[in-house]
Amino acid sequence: MLLGPFDPGDRTAMTSYDLEQRPTHDPRLVHVDVTGELDLTNAREFEERLEAITAANGSRLVLDLNRVVFIDSAALHVLFRTARRLGKDHFSLRLEPTAAIARTLEIVGISEVATISESANDLPAPGEPD
């Protein structure tokens, strides 16, 4: 893939990621699948999209990160800021131990600020204790 010259004013993401909101049976639950690479080139957009998803709904956010293949410090900061904004009781990550970014998230201590589960079925419902 040819990217061309770098323009610092160009906010177009140079790496690829996608967010897909999955329907849930609980209106208090927002479940989002994230795929691709999360890094400096798309961290701001990623954060803005997460804010838009959660702004309209004071519910619990579950991010499925199993198909994220790369994450850098800028995107890690987005996860920590989102956790601080929502609180641990409203921010969960679905992450299998074999996921590409599982070890990185373990090292940075994401479990201190977010509920981690291998399955969406293992996550507590909104309002339930972790």
Q: What is the pTM of this model?
A: 0.81
Q: Is residue 107 part of a domain?
A: yes
Q: Is residue 58 part of a domain?
A: yes
3-state SS class at 13: coil
Looking at the 3D structure of the chain, how many domains does it have?
1
What is each CA distance from 28 to 39, 51, 61, 129, in whole angstroms? 29, 16, 9, 15
Domain range for 27: 17-120
pLDDT score recorded for residue 12: 53
Interval 41-79: pLDDT, tens: 999 999 999 999 887 666 899 999 999 999 999 999 999
Q: Is residue 105 part of a domain?
A: yes
Q: Is residue 77 part of a domain?
A: yes
CATH number at 63 reads 3.30.750.24
Q: Is residue 8 part of a domain?
A: no
Q: Is residue 39 part of a domain?
A: yes
Q: Is residue 6 part of a domain?
A: no
* Torsion-angle region of 82 (φ positive above 0: left; ψ -120 to 50: alpha; else: beta): alpha
